[in-house]
Amino acid sequence: MNEDSIKNHLRQQKIETPSWGYGNSGTRFKTFPAKGAASTVWEKVEDAAFIHTLTGIAPSVALHIPWDRVEDYAELKKYAEDRGIQLGAINPNVFQDREYKLGSVTNPDQSVREKATRHLLDCVEVMKETGSRDLSLWFADGTNYLGQDDLRKRKRHLREALQKVHDALPDGTRMLVEYKLFEPAFYHTDLADWGLALTHCLAVGEKAQVLVDLGHHAQGTNIEHIVSTLLDEGRLGGFHFNARRYADDDLVVGTTNPLELFAIYFEIAQAQQDENEQLRKHTSEVAFMIDQSHNIEHKLEAMLQSVLNCQEAYAKALSVDFDLLKEAQEKGEVLKANRIVMDAFYKDVRPLLRDLREEMGVPVDPFQALEESDHLKKVLRDRQSTDTGGGFPS
Amino acid sequence: MNEDSIKNHLRQQKIETPSWGYGNSGTRFKTFPAKGAASTVWEKVEDAAFIHTLTGIAPSVALHIPWDRVEDYAELKKYAEDRGIQLGAINPNVFQDREYKLGSVTNPDQSVREKATRHLLDCVEVMKETGSRDLSLWFADGTNYLGQDDLRKRKRHLREALQKVHDALPDGTRMLVEYKLFEPAFYHTDLADWGLALTHCLAVGEKAQVLVDLGHHAQGTNIEHIVSTLLDEGRLGGFHFNARRYADDDLVVGTTNPLELFAIYFEIAQAQQDENEQLRKHTSEVAFMIDQSHNIEHKLEAMLQSVLNCQEAYAKALSVDFDLLKEAQEKGEVLKANRIVMDAFYKDVRPLLRDLREEMGVPVDPFQALEESDHLKKVLRDRQSTDTGGGFPS
Amino acid sequence: MNEDSIKNHLRQQKIETPSWGYGNSGTRFKTFPAKGAASTVWEKVEDAAFIHTLTGIAPSVALHIPWDRVEDYAELKKYAEDRGIQLGAINPNVFQDREYKLGSVTNPDQSVREKATRHLLDCVEVMKETGSRDLSLWFADGTNYLGQDDLRKRKRHLREALQKVHDALPDGTRMLVEYKLFEPAFYHTDLADWGLALTHCLAVGEKAQVLVDLGHHAQGTNIEHIVSTLLDEGRLGGFHFNARRYADDDLVVGTTNPLELFAIYFEIAQAQQDENEQLRKHTSEVAFMIDQSHNIEHKLEAMLQSVLNCQEAYAKALSVDFDLLKEAQEKGEVLKANRIVMDAFYKDVRPLLRDLREEMGVPVDPFQALEESDHLKKVLRDRQSTDTGGGFPS
Amino acid sequence: MNEDSIKNHLRQQKIETPSWGYGNSGTRFKTFPAKGAASTVWEKVEDAAFIHTLTGIAPSVALHIPWDRVEDYAELKKYAEDRGIQLGAINPNVFQDREYKLGSVTNPDQSVREKATRHLLDCVEVMKETGSRDLSLWFADGTNYLGQDDLRKRKRHLREALQKVHDALPDGTRMLVEYKLFEPAFYHTDLADWGLALTHCLAVGEKAQVLVDLGHHAQGTNIEHIVSTLLDEGRLGGFHFNARRYADDDLVVGTTNPLELFAIYFEIAQAQQDENEQLRKHTSEVAFMIDQSHNIEHKLEAMLQSVLNCQEAYAKALSVDFDLLKEAQEKGEVLKANRIVMDAFYKDVRPLLRDLREEMGVPVDPFQALEESDHLKKVLRDRQSTDTGGGFPS
C-alpha cells in the first residue's frame, strides 16, 4: 500500500473512548484519587472531546448506565456534539446493585433476573435518545465454588435475557456480547470465552455480535486468531482495547506486547482488502473502543497515549507488503513470510503520522499540546480529587 | 441416589483405552523403552482386552491409522472379539508424513490437503470394516510464526475437509472434532479451542461432534463448564482423558487435580438425570476414552490406574445428593451447595467399588491381579524393548 | 502412623484466622455488604474466638494495622484472652495511603520510603504490646509499565527497609516476608516470587522468613515444592491459606484443588518426622494462617469451612504410610508410590475427625453448631451491614 | 548515547550459537528432516562459522556432549579457529541414557547419580581441551506424580553433585545452572525456577552462576526483572535465547514479543553504564547464547534471523535516553518514563545497523548473502536429509 493509501485509511480510523476512563478507578486494594479526574458525565464528555481535538480520531464517547445517567439525554447529546463528538456505545451496569451478588440475568432468583433484564431494556431506550448504534453488554455473572449453581440452568437464563434484548433492538443497531474468563467470579463465568459468546449470538439473531476485550483471555491465547475467526463468521462486533500481562490488568493498550496489537490490526487490514465484499462491509462496522482502568496514571495522558498507540499499530499494519506476503505464504517460506510482516512492525511510522496530523489539522506533538493546554490547566485547577476507598473498607 | 442405583450406573460405565497407550511413548527429549511394551496392533489389542478382564469397564480399544494398519480388519475385529472387546474409535494420523510439515488439511499446498483428506476418507472405509461408530479427528495443523500463513484461508480449507469427511460418514456414525491450544504448533493452532471446534461442527452437520481432551486447554480453563455447554448444545462427542499441570502433559487421568475429573463426571451424572429426554439420550452417547502418554510408567499399570480413576470419580459423582443440592442452589446458599458436592467427593467409595467388582466377576484388587497375572509375566518375558530415540537425534 | 498418633498431631494443629476475614471485602467492581459482618476489631476478635470454640484449633487472630488500631493493645489482648484466644501476627498496611500510589518502601520519593519504614517499625512496637511473635509483611509495591522505575534501585530500597525492620525485631520474634506475582502492580512486583523473598531474607538475617500465600503464584507453580525447599533451607516462616484458579482469587482454602492443600500438608507431615532435629524444630515453628476474601459467602461459615478444610487435609496427610512410600520411592516404583499417597488422600477421615472433636470437647457437627448458635443470631440481629462501594466509584 | 557510542557497543556484542541448532530437531510428534541440515559436529562448526561471517557477532559455537564428542578436541578447536570461531560452552547431556529415566544426579539409584556426576566431571575435562570458559548445566530431572520421589532428598543429591562439579572447575571457568519449570518432567522439576538455581549457586560457590532460558518460565513471568535481580546479586551467568508463547516452544528469539527481548537488553545496557564497577564487570561476563529448536524452518536462516534479532534489540536498548529516563522516574512520571523507553523501542535502527555492517565488513543484507552463498548451495547439494522419527514410534 502506498503512503497516500495508508494515510487515507488512517484518516478513517476511529477509536471510541469510554466515559469511565476519565474518572477515578483502582484495584480492590485502593482507588487512588487522581488530580483533575472527571466526576460527572459532563466532565467526562468534555475530556473525551478534548482527546478528539488532540488526535482527530476519537470522535465518540461510550456511556455507562447508571454512572452516566442524566435526566435528558438529548441535552447530553447536544452537549457532546457542540464539542465535536458523538455519544457512542451504551454500557448497562448489572453488577453493582446488592441484588446482583449471585448474578444478574443468571441469578437463581427470578425477580433479580427480571430486574436485570429490565435495566438492559431500559438501556435500549437510552440508545434511542443518544442515537447510539451499539449496546455493549458485559456480565459479571458467574460462581465462585463448584456446585454453587447449576451451569446449564444459568446458560438458559442467559440465553433468554439475550433473546429479549436482541428482539427489542431497533433496526440498524447491534448488541455486543462481551466475554471474560474470570473476575469478579472465580469458579466459572457464565460468558467465559468467545466460543460461548458466539454460540449465544448465533442463537439469538443477526443483531448479536461478539465483543473482544484484550484483557479477558487465558494466558497464551492467540487473540488475533479469534479476531480472524469472528471476522470470517461475520460476528466481530468490536473491541475493548487495553493491555495485560497477568489478569485483566486494564493497562494502556499496546504497552505489554505491542506486537499483539499490531497483529490484531494486521487481521483488520487484511480483511479490509479482501475480495469478499461482505467481509469488507462487516469489517467496516467493527467498533474500536478503549476500556482501561488508569490507576496510577494521569487520566488524559493515559487516554491520549492509548489512542495514539492504536494509530501507530494500524499504521504499521497497513504498511505490510500484502502481495509479497501472499507469495511467501503460498510457497511455504516460513521465516520469509514472518519477516515481511515484521518489517512493517519495525518500520518507524512516526514521520508519516506527523505528516498526517499536520494534514488533519491536529497538533503534531499531542503530548506537548496536552501539557500546554488550557483544558489541562482548568481541570487541575477546578476539579476536586476525592478519596474513594477500595474493596477493603478501612 | 441409593447404592443400588449407583451400582447400576457404574455397571454401564465404559472407558475406551487407546492402542497407542500400550506402546512406547516419550517426550521430544527421549522415548524410554518400557519392559513389556506392546509393539504390534495384535499385542496392543491383547493388552486392552486384559485391562478389560481386570476392570469389566474397558470393553473397546481405539485404533490409530496407519500405526495400527492391518491387511484384514475383519481378522483384527475377530481377534479382539475373541478376547472380549470391540474395536473402537478410528484415529487417522495426518501429522507424521513429511508432507505435513506445514499442515495437513490446512496446508498451503493443495496436493497435501488432498492427500490428507484422502487419508481421512480412507479411515471412514476402515470404520466400516471395524464396525466403529466414531472417527476421531485430531489435527496438528497450525503455524509457528506471525504471518507464516493466512489464518482465514486455513480456516476455510479446514471447513472444506471436514465437510467432505462428514458427508462420507455412514448413518449412525459420527466424527469427533478435537481441539488443542498448542503443540506441535506454537503460534496458532487451526483448531485451537472448543469454540472453533463447535463452530465447524455446527456448520458441517449433525454427525459432527466436539471432542474434549483434558490436556488441551489454557491454564485456568474450567473444563466442566465446557462439558456442560456442549451437552446443552447437543454437541459433546466424547473425551480424551488424561491429566496435566503445565502443557499437554498426558499423565494418568485424575492425578493432578482429582476434583476436576469428579466435576466433569458430576456434569455427566446431572445430565443423565435431566428431565429433558433429548439431553439424556445425547449424554448416553458420549464416548469416554483414555489418551495418555506413559513415559516413565509401566504401561499396563498406568492404563489400569487410569480406568479405575475414572470409575472412582464417577462413583463419587453419582453419590451427590442432587435434590438437596438443587434446594441449596435455588436458595443461593453458596457454601452449603458447595459442601453438598464436596461431601460426595470426600466420600470413600472404595468399599462400594470392591462390592461392585465382586458382583461383576472381576478381581477385587485389580493391581494385585495385574501383578500376579500370567499376562504380565508373558509380556515381560516375550516382548522386546527397543530404544527408539527422541525428537533430538543423537 | 496409627490413629492415636494421628489424633495427637491433629490436637496440636493450629490455624490462625485473620481479623479482616470477618469484615466486608470485595473485588474492584463491588464490595457487597454481608449480613452480620464485623466492623470493629472488637467484633472481629469475638468472631475469631467463636470460630475457635467451634473447632478447637484456631486459637489466635491476626491483626492488620491501622485497620485494627486501638488506643490500648493491652486491653485488646485481654479482651481476646478472656474469649479464649491470643492476638497473632501483626500485618502492617503500607498500601492504602495516598502517598503509596507508586510504592511504599520502594517509592522513588525518599520521604514516602521513610514514612513506610516508620510504620513498619511502629508495628514492631505494637508486637511488643500484643505479645505477637510474627510481623507479617506484604508490600503492594511494583510498577505498571516498562521503564516506570529502576528495578535495581527499588530492590536496594527494599533491602534497606527490610534490614532496618529486621534489626528492630525483639529476640524470639520473626518477620515473615510475603511475595506475590502481581496485583495491584501489573508490570512487576518488587517481591514477585519466593526466590526474591528468600534472597532478601538470607541477606538481612536469621529472623527473616518467607511467607507462602497459596494465591500468589503463576499458573502451574508447584507450591509444595517451594514448601519443601524452604523447609530444607530453614526459611519457611508460614502460610497464607486460600484457594485460587485464576489470579489471587482468595477463595476458601481447599475448594479449587484439594489435592494441592493435601500435598502441602504432606510435606509438613514428612518434615515433622524427619530424622534431622533442626528440621523438625523449624517445621514446628511454621505459622498456618488463613488469608481470604469472602465476597459472596457468609463470613463465619467461610472461616469455619476454611479451618475444617485444613484439618481434613492434615488428617489425610498424616495417614500416608510413610514407610511403604519410602520403599516404593527407593525402588523407583512410580505409580505405586503415587498410589500410596493417593490412598491417604482418598481415605475418608471424617469419622476420625468426629471422634477427635468429641474428645476435644468441641461440636461434632460444627456447621450445625454455627447455625444454631446464639453468636450467629446476635451478629445477624445487632450488626449493621453497610454499602461500602468498590474500586469504581458509582 | 550518541550513534558512535551505540556502534561501539554493538561491535562488542557477542552471540554464541549452538551446534544442535544446525541439525534436525522436532517435537514429540515428529522430527521433520530439513534440507541441508548438519549431521556431524564438523558440519555444525562450519555452519556456525558461516553465520559468523554473515554477522560478525557470532564468534563461538556451543557444544553438546556426547552429541558432539570427538576423539581429539584439539583438532576440533583448530578446525573451528581455522574458520574464524571459537569453541564455546560445553553442554553435558544427562537425559538421554536409559538409566536417566527417573533422573540423573537426583535419581533414587546411587549408581545412576554417580554415572551422571562422572559425565559432568568428564565434561570439565573436555573444557580444558576446548578452552571453554563455561560449563552449561541443564537437568531434565524431576517427577511426574505426587509422591513419586522425596523432594528434599532429591534436592540434597542435586546439591552434592553441583558441589563436586563446582570444585572441579579450573580457575577462570564457571558453571551455568539452568532452571526450567517443566518438561520433560510434569509434576515437579528439581531445578524449577531461578530461585532454586540461585539458592544452589549461593551454596556451592563463586563459580556457580544462573542461566536464564527465555522459554523456561511460567506464564506471565517478568523475565527482565529476574535478569535485573541476578545482575544485582552478581549471579547472572548467561542466557539461552529463544521465543515462546505457550510452553518451551523454542522459536526464533524475538518473534513472539519483541518488547521482552528489548527489555532484557535494556537491563543489560543499564547495568553496563552503572556507576558500580563490580556490576559493570559482572555484566561484561554474561554469556549470550541461542538455544532454539528449528522444527519447520531452514536451519541457517533461522539462526541468522536469531542473531540479527538480538542485534536489533540491543541497538534499540542502547538508544534509550537514560538521563531523561532517570529524571522522569525520579519525578514519578509514570507514562512519560514509559514513553522514553518505548521511543527507543519504536526507533528504526536498521539504517544504523546497515552502516555498522558495512563498517564491520560483513554483508549489508545478510539474508540475501545467505541465499546467494556458496555455503548454502553446498549444504543443500551435499548433505543428506534423513527421516529420524519422533517421540511416537510409527
pLDDT tens, residue by residue, C177-234: 999 999 999 999 999 999 999 999 999 999 999 999 999 999 999 999 999 999 999 9
In this structure, the strands spanning B142-143 and D236-241 are unpaired
- Rounded percentage of chain C residues whose pLDDT exceeds 90: 97
Which chain D residue has its CA at the smallest distance from A367's CA? D336
Q: Give residue D343's pLDDT.
A: 97
Chain A, window 248-277: residues with a beta carbon less than 8 angstroms from a chain B beta carbon: 259, 263, 266-267, 270-271, 274
Single-letter code of the amino acid located at B6? I
| B275: CB partners within 8 A, 6+ apart | none
Task: Report residue A156 CA to chain centroid gap.
Answer: 27
Please name the residue of chain C whose CA is at the shortest distance from the CA of residue B297: C334
Give the model's pLDDT for residue A386: 67
| Inter-chain CB proximity A218 and B222 less than 8 Å | no
**Does D225 touch chain A if contact means CB atoms closer than 8 Å?**
no
Instruction: Choose the mutation target among B20, B27, B216, B252 for the interface with D, i.e. most D CBs under 10 Å.
Output: B27
**C321-344 pLDDT per residue, tens:** 999 999 999 999 999 999 999 999
Q: Is D98 on the interface with B (CB under 8 A)?
A: yes
pLDDT at C260 over 50: yes
- Nearest by CB to residue D108, choosing from C217, C228, C329, is C329
User: Which residues on A lie below 8 Å from D260 (Cβ)?
Assistant: 257
Residues of D in contact with A350 (CB under 8 A): 346
Q: Does C35 touch chain A (CB under 8 A)?
A: no
Instruction: Provide the grid cell at D248.
Output: 518451551
Q: Give the pLDDT confidence score for residue C10 in this predicted structure.
A: 98
Query: How far is it, in rounded angstroms, from Cα B60 to Cα B52?
Result: 8
Separation CA C339–CA B316 (nearest Å) = 18
Mean pLDDT of D326-345: 98
Amino acid making up residue B55: T
In terms of DSSP bridges, do strands C188-189 and C142-143 run parallel, antiparallel, or are they unpaired?
antiparallel
pLDDT higher than 70, residue C390: no
| Residue positions counted in chain A | 394
Closest residue, chain D, to C228 (C-alpha): D152
Q: What is the pTM of this model?
A: 0.98
pLDDT at D289 over 70: yes
CA D138, distance to chain mean position in Å, is 11
The minimum CA-CA distance between B248 and chain A, rounded to whole Å, is: 14
Q: Which of C27, C180, C186 to mutate to test the interface with A (most CBs of A within 10 A)?
A: C186
A313 and A261 in contact (C-beta within 8 Å)? yes
What local confidence, expressed as pLDDT, does residue B321 receive?
98
pLDDT at D6 over 50: yes
pLDDT at C308: 98
User: C-alpha grid cell for residue D244?
Assistant: 515462546
> Which grid cell is B272?
443423565
Residue of A388, A240, A354, A380 lying closest to A301 (CA atoms) = A380
Tell me the sheet residues that pair with D142. D189
Contacts of C255 in chain B (CB under 8 A): 338, 342
pLDDT tens digits for range C283-326: 999 999 999 999 999 999 999 999 999 999 999 999 999 999 99
Mean residue pLDDT of chain D comes to: 96
Please report residues of C whose CB lies closer than 8 A to that of B305: 335, 339
pLDDT at C1: 83
Tell me the pLDDT tens digit for each residue of A6-65.
999 999 999 999 999 999 999 999 999 999 999 999 999 999 999 999 999 999 999 999
- Confidence (pLDDT) at C387: 62
Of A257, A260, A346, the CB nearest to D348: A346
Pairing of strands B60-65, C16-18: unpaired
> Given A246, A335, A346, which is nearest D350 (Cβ)?
A346
Report whether A219 contacts B218 (CB < 8 A).
Answer: yes
Q: Is D342 on the interface with A (CB under 8 A)?
A: yes
Where are the extended beta strands (E) located within D93-182?
134-137, 142-143, 174-178
Q: From CA D322, how far away is CA C188, in angstroms rounded?
A: 20
User: What pLDDT sits at residue A388?
Assistant: 57
In the DSSP assignment, the letter for residue B20 is: G
Instruction: Choose, out of B223, B246, B331, B335, the residue to mutate when testing the contact with C (most C CBs < 10 Å).
Output: B335
Closest Cα in chain C to A250:
C186
- Tell me which chains share at least 3 CB pairs under 8 Å with chain C: A, B, D
Query: Taking CB atoms and an 8 Å cutoff, what residues of chain C touch A384?
Result: none
* Average confidence (pLDDT) per 10 residues, chain B, 394 residues: 95 98 95 94 98 98 97 98 98 97 98 98 98 98 98 98 98 98 98 98 98 98 98 98 98 98 98 97 98 96 98 98 98 98 96 98 98 97 72 44
pLDDT at B388: 58
Domains and CATH numbers, chain B: 3-382 (3.20.20.150)
- Read off the pLDDT of residues B250-296 as tens digits, 9 standing for 90 and up: 999 999 999 999 999 999 999 999 999 999 999 999 999 999 999 99
How far apart CA D66 and CA D20 sit, in angstroms, is 11
- Nearest by CB: A27 against C28, C32, C187: C28
- C-alpha cell belonging to residue B372: 500376579
According to DSSP, the β-strands at A188-189 and A142-143 are: antiparallel
Question: Are residues B228 and A151, on separate chains, in Cβ contact within 8 Å?
Answer: yes
Q: Which of A67, A96, A97, A214 to mutate to test the interface with C (most CBs of C within 10 A)?
A: A96
